[in-house]
Amino acid sequence: MTKKELSQLYYLNREIEEQQRRLAELETVATSCTATITGLPRTSGVADKLAKYAIEIADLKALLDLNLKKCFYELNRLNRYIQTVDDSQMRMILSLRYINGYSWRQIAFSIGGGNTEDGVKKMAYRFLKKM
């Protein structure tokens, strides 16, 4: 498995976070209301605005649901691959990096044993290159 394949879960999670942010933004805009000023003529624009946002929200929810399913599939695929690695330290490095999304510094700290961020990064890249 390549570094790019292993990184797909990370980018999928970022995409999901962005979609969730956008969904919250759309829901806020769709449900926000202003005080009605009496004596002014009414327009039909409000109903159209709500319908437009409702359609966008429904589409975004469907897309978000699809990406969450992809994320679950990708997580399972990565876990299965990592479990095939013989070296327990390398399994830990790959799991912390590609499943938990840790930085190289956090991985080196978690593993301990005098490992540096450059050291664990090189170990992982050498391992992936060898595979």
Q: Which residues of 7-43 are buried (b: 16+ CB within 10 A; e: fewer)?
A: eebeebeeebeebeeebeebeeebeeeeeeeeeeeee
| Domain housing 122 | 86-131
The mean pLDDT value of the chain amounts to 88
Same domain for 95 and 126?
A: yes
Same domain for 17 and 58?
A: yes
Q: What is the pLDDT of residue 98?
A: 95
**What mean pLDDT is predicted for residues 70-75?**
95
- Residue 46 pLDDT greater than 60, yes or no: no
Alpha carbons 34 and 120: distance in angstroms, whole number: 55
Flag whether 37 is in a domain: no
**What mean pLDDT is predicted for residues 30-51?**
61
Most confident of the following: 26-40, 47-61, 97-111: 97-111
At residue 105, φ and ψ (nearest 5 deg) are -65, -45
Name the strand (E) or helix (H) holding 94: helix 88-94
Same domain for 92 and 72?
A: no
Domain count, the chain: 2
Q: How confident is the model at residue 54 (pLDDT cuts 50, 70, 90)?
A: confident
